[in-house]
Structure 1
């Protein structure tokens, strides 16, 4: 299966959209080769601004450009965008509801050897808590290109989470992206895995492993963390009776928390959150870190078996 990093797809999407939307401008914090905004820079040098290693200032510049009628896409690593520049995002972008798109790459533990200081595991929690902020986490290159276009069409702030490592291409060219609507990639009646980002491909592998054992597991690609597709979550709970969430993020404040909140209010069922368990990451190869922190198809399959056991116990 072909693998492409979502950051690569982001760079290509920006360059394509630049031809359609003259108000689109791109800002970067001296990481354009890594975030792939260099693709846009080569094509539209007059609409690209390297703000240097000054992420807080970059957010302020983006706010000013948005207030002047431009549509800025700000890019840097997720740990810098949401950590170092959180105050500027909150006060200068989210509070006045300015039309700024924050595209943060190198999120999660698959940043790999760069280690804990560069592995953003709390960025979704921070961005999701900001009023009016749309939060997107595409699963593959195709979904990323569609998500960038969707972000452009949103009138307000958007956080777009991207990754460093190549991931399998799951969607075909005719895939339709609808903001706020989960995508059912596999039907099932026994349990549901709701996954986001790189964990969607892991969820599909887990579902196939379980199918070989006679279990029928649904897989939802939850590319929009906010606004969450509550209807799809509740429908999965009603129809399958057991939920597992999967994310390359802390289990606190991200997809797992969002789904738990929805189920708690609408349709409580046995549930388990698979993600980083309230710890920092460490340096290592991406595949080693996914194994150590329990983010492999095997771990997801075990989580599904756990919620199924709880579901069956509740029925006795």
Structure 2
């Protein structure tokens, strides 16, 4: 079959009229705010002043917009074809020669398929490879378990000497790419569903290991990451109409995790809810729980995400609603946490 007949990029980008998507997944989102669209553009801008930057992809240049980079820097772009493991090893070789390679593919392929190469070829020799896992979580809803990336945070944060970060929106992704340029070791950058509404009105100044408080509150803290930050903010707004003041912390830095922000949340608000678009086993919620337990913090706590199961096939928006990972669902879970806390105190 000819290559052009296999091109699924318009479907992956959510712009094709193929009847395979829930309208809530795309309505009202300017493509300029979609992380997958600014990835190549931002790197192309940075590469104008940094000759070390190279970009690799595994036949997904349109889906991750690496072609925007290739159009301006064709000699620094490599499409390895459908050979993800080889791509990571090639990137490691380029890093050993002084380049800063960004190797991009679906999160399910980057983290799950290439875990050995990320650990052994990149993290162990401490090479500055940036593995970019895009369309993570349940964003590839109709493509099923093979394309869902729910375990990547749990897996990646257990690899020694690997920095793990999550992009919240387009401006946040720009900041992460800029931050990554002079980071000395390997890094896993998790991009969300590609329809992430704006949380940051401008490109933020980020410090690795320091979370961002995007909304203050006193009754509980919602610690979210990646695509779940925006619905967490919306959930906090819903809770405010119920007389509940919720702080929202963007825990974009998964490894290293912001220990101080976690403990401050426990002490200041007394209740902590973690929210992530992924399996709750081993991910953000587990990382936060470890900190709270080791510190002996007295706090009401709940992990919220996808339970330890393979999710059904369906439109991403419907899956978020099913798992209560949309704004109304997060608000419900937060209310349940606070209600159970009051019951225990009574």
Alignment of 1:275 with 2:305, yes or no, is yes
**Contact 1:71–1:100 (CA under 8 A) maintained in structure 2:** yes
- Contact 1:110 1:289 (8 Å CA) reproduced: no
Partner of 1:49: 78
Shift of residue 81, structure 1, vs aligned partner: 1.0
Match of 1:242 among 271, 291, 309: 271
Shift of 1:283: 2.2
* In the alignment, structure 1 residue 102 sits paired with structure 2 residue 96: no
2:327 to 282, 297, 314: 297
The answer to whether residue 47 in structure 2 is matched with residue 18 in structure 1 is: yes
Give the CA deviation at 1:37: 0.8
CA distance in 1, matches of 2:331, 2:203: 30
Q: Which among 82, 91, 96 is matched to residue 120 of structure 2?
A: 91
Does the 8 Å CA contact 2:172/2:203 hold for their aligned counterparts?
A: no
Aligned to 1:258: 287
Greater mean alpha carbon deviation, residues 67-76 or residues 259-268: 259-268
1:2 is displaced (CA, Å) by 5.0
Residue 32 of structure 1 is matched in structure 2 by: 61
How far residue 127 of structure 1 moved from its aligned partner, in angstroms, is 0.8
- Counting only pairs closer than 5 Å after superposition, residues 68-147 of structure 1 correspond to structure 2 as 68-147=97-176
Q: Which residue of 2 aligns with 1:161?
A: 190
Give the equivalent residue in structure 1 for 2:340. 310
Q: Deviations along 1:102-140, whole A, 9 cap, x unmatched?
A: 011110112222222101100111111000111111111
SS of residue matched to 1:150:
helix
Alignment match, 2:8: none
Indicate conservation of the 8 Å contact 1:111/1:119, yes or no: yes
Would you say the 8 A contact 1:211–1:217 is kept in 2? yes
Q: Give me the TM-score of the superposition, normalised by structure 2.
A: 0.88
C-alpha deviation, 1:314, in angstroms: 4.4
Any gaps of 5 or more consecutive residues in structure 1?
Answer: none
Aligned residue number for residue 171 of structure 1: 200
Q: Which of 259, 267, 274 is equivalent to 1:230?
A: 259
Is the contact between residue 55 and residue 77 of structure 2 (CA under 8 Å) also seen in structure 1? Answer: yes
1:192 Cα deviation from its structure 2 partner: 0.6
In the TM superposition, residue 200 of structure 1 has moved relative to its aligned partner by 0.5
1:188 to 210, 214, 217: 217
CA contact (8 A) 1:5 1:163 kept: no
Secondary structure of 2:205's counterpart equals coil
Q: Structure 2 unaligned runs (5+)?
A: 1-27
Aligned length: 316
TM-score using structure 1 length = 0.96
The question of whether the paired residues in 2 share the 8 Å contact of 1:66 and 1:72 is answered with yes
- Contact 1:241 1:311 (8 Å CA) reproduced: no
| Preserved contact between residue 186 and residue 219 of structure 1 (Cα < 8 Å) | yes
Once the two structures are superposed, residues 49-74 of structure 1 have per-residue CA deviations (whole angstroms, 9 ceiling, x without a partner) of 11111111111111111111111110
CA deviation vs aligned residue, 1:20-79 (integer Å, no higher than 9, x gap): 210111111111111111111111000011111111111111111111111111011111
Structure 1 window deviating more from structure 2 (1-10 vs 70-79): it is 1-10
Q: Give the CA deviation at 1:298.
A: 1.9
